[in-house]
A and B are shown apart, each in its own frame.
Chain A
């Protein structure tokens, strides 16, 4: 059967497959960066096409945070504790983004049949995960900002910040470490299969508790110390509280500068581990044939 040769089908940019296969480091980097943008695109577009999140991610989470504010009010707690709850509520948004939109996401991509297409493409799958995170940041940031702003005005929270630069750096490092952790978990979840969905449940309230989401983590003693060493949310939250409410005095936890260094180490370790685990996961999934299993 003869078919018309369409112009778009004509032409080939390289002379040989060997030439086409060997990319320069610059091409590899550009591909990975473009993939981040590519994967973030559906997340961002999805937000504009289905606006229900404006209610569910902006208005309602503020009410949840308010519950804990009223608990402290019922106990006549010092005003700074209201601020603690508000910052904790805001950071919840990013933690949930990590858990739902990153950690569990590759598993869902496998369910939908997209995972094999990702692995068959030349970019690093870490770019895909970062893209998911970046795309989800719009919703998470909106949720966090709305909680912060509304709660600050409604409950009259007053911040006393002396080191703005350090506060911003801690926030950025906390996000970086969180997303590194999310990438690590994403690879584990692909291998663990159905458990992944249930394990995301384990990673909400239990993590909130050991991270001191609504109270200073230093009050947890040894558990708190362990959390500061292992969970970016715990150490980042504690550092941000210390920087945002300088007047509250010692908390029984390391000072913000030390916690910043902990975050730097966490970021490096989690991202490094994520890279290793994703490669191992891919290797193992290819060996065991799990990249394309869709039946649950």
Chain B
């Protein structure tokens, strides 16, 4: 049986053009394939109903925990704060999915499927494939967050006026936020490339720690001033504030408020839409750049120490 290479020249010499690749076309194809793979792995393990329940139960439960905390302490007076905590909690579950998605893709492929080394040595960009794989979980997280908000509006008494929504602001902050969340996920993926199998919960732990300083379920003004600094330099803080301002304009702000660091620094009570977008853009750019550097450094370290194809069970 002869193998005939249709592209070979008459003299069968190696064609260097084969090593060049096709740039954007290759990147898009890799991303699309990885995203399709990620979706299959996320969605095909059970029937659609169970998948739906699984996707919604976690973010909904997170929101309900906070609703009950409000109920326990503030009783009916806490009703006014419900939209604040439900929106923050729903958005946060989206963050968890996105960040964990990329990190778990590394751990999954390295420890369970043992495919990481094959992906790595393929001509596709490793980062592109990672992002594609993570997108599926991000999509599941988005679905969960969306349904939690719907439940909040329909059942838990969150007042929502579609006519008052600032759709432009919402679109901008969602887009910028998604990039930031992916960047954080890339950072966690770089960390998990160095750590052992038992680091499955590291992404959730890191995101859980960030939960403290981003004004997800309480305003930053509650925190001591040094912690408020961390909050103000975190793009997630501005993202959550931006989504809140877009969906519920005029509602309580997580960043500003009387006695907040924002008020002291800017002289205004709450940031306006433009300030939110600019701050998100700036902090997001810094985090994205930092993540890219961290990822490259992590990848180089992993290659140097032979971590890409190791298994580390205990």
| Chain A residues packing against B (C-beta within 8 Å) | 42-43, 45-46, 50, 52-53, 56-57, 60-61, 63-64, 66-68, 70-77, 81, 96, 100-101, 108, 111-112, 114, 135, 139, 194-195, 198-199, 201-202, 204-206, 208-209, 213-216, 219-220, 296
Contacts and interface: CB of A to CB of B under 8 A. Distances in A.
Interface stretch (B8-16, B212-220, B241-249, B259-267): B212-220
B112 interface: yes
Contact of A74 (B53, B61, B111, B219): B219
Contacts of A53: 198-199
Given A74-B219, A202-B58, A296-B112, A213 B195 contact: no
A206 B218 contact: no
21 contacts: A50-B195, A50-B312, A52-B202, A53-B199, A61-B208, A63-B209, A67-B211, A67-B216, A68-B69, A71-B217, A72-B69, A73-B218, A75-B70, A81-B73, A100-B200, A108-B112, A198-B46, A208-B65, A209-B65, A215-B72, A216-B72
Contacts of B74: 75
A63 B211 CA distance: 8
B198 A46 contact: yes
A57 B212 contact: no
Contact of A112 (B198, B216, B313): B313
Residue of B113, B191, B208, B219 with most chain A CB atoms under a 10 A cut-off: B208
B65 A213 contact: yes
B157 interface: no
Contacts, number: 135
Nearest to B66: A71
B68 interface: yes
A139 B196 CA distance: 14
B201 interface: yes
Given A46-B196, A46-B314, A77 B65 contact: no
B209 A206 contact: no
B57 interface: yes
B195 A206 contact: no
Interface in B167-224: 191, 194-202, 205-206, 208-209, 211-212, 216-219, 222-223
User: Secondary structure at chain A's binding surface: helix, strand, loop or mixed?
Assistant: helix
B62 A70 contact: no
A200 B59 CA distance: 14
Residue of B57, B194, B197, B216 with most chain A CB atoms under a 10 A cut-off: B57
A96 B202 CA distance: 12
B110 to A, nearest CB: 12
A205 B113 contact: no
B65 A64 contact: no
